[in-house]
Amino acid sequence: MADLDKHGQACTIFTVIIHPDFYRRAHSSPTFMNFLLTLMYEGLESKYPQFKLDTEASIPMSLKKNTHKEIKNAE
């Protein structure tokens, strides 16, 4: 899906669905979160090789009721 980023530049949005228990586990551990982000990036790049993903970008993670949390790729 196409959209605009916070700077008004065109960007492509991918939706990744994560089980809530898996998300909570990842959210509570930086190591596990890095593992989750690596899996997501590699999966998306494998499925959509025409896109170059910015691994330094923020990833909005939403749960039920549109509660948003931003998770940054911490190394």
> Distance (Å, rounded) from C-alpha 56 to C-alpha 72?
7
**Number of C-alpha atoms within 13 angstroms, CB side, residue 73?**
14
Report whether pLDDT(53) > 90.
no
CA dihedral 71, 29, 39, 18 (to 10 degrees): -70
Please report the pLDDT score of residue 47 as a whole number.
93
Give the C-alpha separation, 60 to 29, whole Å: 17
Q: Where are the domains of the chain?
A: 19-71
Packing angle of the helix pair 30-47, 20-27 (nearest 10 deg) = 130
Tell me: the pLDDT tens digits for 1-37?
Answer: 778 888 888 888 888 888 888 888 888 888 888 888 8
pLDDT over 90, % of the chain:
7
16 token code pair? 């990744």
